[in-house]
A = this chain, B = another copy of it.
Amino acid sequence: MKAGPSQEEVRQHNLGALLRHVHYEGPTSRAVLAAGLGLNRSTILGLVGDLAAAGLVREELPQETGRAGRPSLVVSPEPARAHVLALDVGVERLSAALVGLGGVFLDRREHPWPDGPPQDPAEVAALLAGPAREMLARTPDGSTCVGVAAAVRGLVRHPDGLVGLTPNMGWKGVDLAGALTDRLRPDVPVLVANEANLGALAEHRRGIGRGSRNLVYLHGEIGIGAGVITAGELLRGERGYAGEIGHMTVNPHQGRPCGCGARGCLEAEAGERALLEAAGRDGRSTGSEAVRAVVTAADLGDVAARAALHRVGDWLGIGIANLANLFDPDLVVLGGTLRDVFLGSAAQVRSRINTNALAAVREQLRLRVSELGDDTVLIGAAELAFSEVLARPLETLARLSAR
């Protein structure tokens, strides 16, 4: 029951709203900004002036419109004024990107780890720090680093980013943010978040979930995680652990054992290992290529691969039906290796949803695969890193430029 904001807080809010608009929508005319933000044109003029003076936006002539008359200026985000560092500690590789305002990828590096990620957090921090420092050294003159964020596969406590558990890397209680801060010494706090939450953020802000206020993003790699957007906001829960759909029990008595110690969790029934074993593949070779090979084999008529996709699609459908009944989303987005799994088992998934989700929740539910491809999580990390400057643009920039 907090009191409402002061005049100055309102102005900061409006600066942030305008910057967010052009960050996500790209070049926008003042008239459209006024309509979109519900402000009059003179207020917009003042806000644009302040942001332009700080170098965060520029005004320019639009692309040729083909219409007669003097074209109206458009406001664009300035990617060379503020940038973030986005890091993704993946199962198959480490990815790092330097991303400018507006979501422009200015630079990127990949570091594959064919034998899986290092078990030692310090080694991961060292591997992250190398390309990060290289990229930061080559940022445009006059550009300020406004955020650093890293994605990990596991439970991440909110808001301090302590990595509680990463089943596939054996981490428990790891302060990755601290290790990165020690090596990079950035002027901003290093944020750490769960990969599926960042995937949901990316799809909601820049992917197929734009415009949706209630979506579930399902990310498949070795495990299955979910990021949930409800009423336009990321669902975090009390400690930041919400969305652990991989450990939703769907088959308690006859189920396969799960890494978490329980039996019949969704990821035990519908995860990569379940698919590869059901298809008669060597259970030790997992990963996106192994999954894709099963889907391709099924397309070519491989009976075991088809049966495996049918079986996994059935469990995936049960999982999505449960999410639909619990969250009533209008959109479920499948990302990571679940893209391929879904494309190979869509009929079975939909059939199960038709049986197990209530008619009212499934009737207008859309199922889609991620359009951001392998960059979903990295894009989400960049958006998390931008959140401070997008909330309080001038304050943030003034604070960081003064250092």
Residue numbers of A with Cβ under 8 A of B are: 1-7, 9-11, 13-14, 17-18, 20-21, 36-39, 43, 155, 157, 164-165, 213-214, 226, 230-231, 233, 235-245, 247-254, 260-262, 318, 321-323, 325-330, 355-361, 364
14 contacts between A and B (CB under 8 A): A3-B14, A4-B11, A157-B360, A165-B360, A230-B236, A231-B235, A236-B328, A239-B364, A241-B358, A244-B326, A244-B361, A249-B321, A249-B322, A254-B254
Q: Name A329's contact: one of B238, B321, B328 (CB within 8 Å).
A: B238
**Smallest Cβ-Cβ distance to A164: which chain B residue:** B360
Alpha-carbon separation in the docked complex, A385 to B243 (Å): 32
* Interfacial chain B residues near A355, Cβ < 8 Å: 261-262
**Smallest Cβ-Cβ distance to A39: which chain B residue:** B3
Q: Which of A237, A247, A323 counts the most B-chain CB atoms under 10 A from its CB?
A: A237
Alpha-carbon separation in the docked complex, A292 to B213 (Å): 42
* Interfacial chain B residues near A249, Cβ < 8 Å: 250, 318, 321-322, 356
Given contacts A251-B253, A325-B248, A326-B248, A38 and B241 within 8 Å (CB-CB)? no
Residues B214 and A238 in contact, CB atoms below 8 Å apart: yes
Residues A239 and B325 in contact, CB atoms below 8 Å apart: no
**Smallest Cβ-Cβ distance to A10: which chain B residue:** B4
Q: Name A252's contact: one of B251, B262, B364 (CB within 8 Å).
A: B251
Residues B327 and A237 in contact, CB atoms below 8 Å apart: yes
Alpha-carbon separation in the docked complex, A244 to B357 (Å): 10
Residues A328 and B241 in contact, CB atoms below 8 Å apart: yes
Alpha-carbon separation in the docked complex, A36 to B38 (Å): 31
* Interfacial chain B residues near A3, Cβ < 8 Å: 10, 13-14, 17, 37-39, 43
**Smallest Cβ-Cβ distance to A167: which chain B residue:** B358
Residues B7 and A7 in contact, CB atoms below 8 Å apart: yes
* Interfacial chain B residues near A245, Cβ < 8 Å: 325-326
Alpha-carbon separation in the docked complex, A21 to B2 (Å): 10
Instruction: Write the nearest CB–CB distance from A350 to chain B, whole angstroms.
Output: 15
Residues A2 and B330 in contact, CB atoms below 8 Å apart: no
Residues B36 and A241 in contact, CB atoms below 8 Å apart: no
Alpha-carbon separation in the docked complex, A165 to B260 (Å): 37
Instruction: Write the nearest CB–CB distance from A37 to chain B, whole angstroms.
Output: 4
* Interfacial chain B residues near A251, Cβ < 8 Å: 251-253
* Interfacial chain B residues near A13, Cβ < 8 Å: 3-4
Alpha-carbon separation in the docked complex, A36 to B236 (Å): 25
Residues A239 and B328 in contact, CB atoms below 8 Å apart: yes
Residues B358 and A155 in contact, CB atoms below 8 Å apart: yes
Residues B262 and A326 in contact, CB atoms below 8 Å apart: no
* Interfacial chain B residues near A238, Cβ < 8 Å: 213-214, 328-330, 364
* Interfacial chain B residues near A325, Cβ < 8 Å: 244-245, 247-248
Instruction: Write the nearest CB–CB distance from A163 to chain B, whole angstroms.
Output: 11
Q: Name A360's contact: one of B9, B14, B231, B241 (CB within 8 Å).
A: B241
**Which 3 A/B pairs are nearest by Cβ-Cβ distance?**
A237-B328, A4-B10, A4-B13
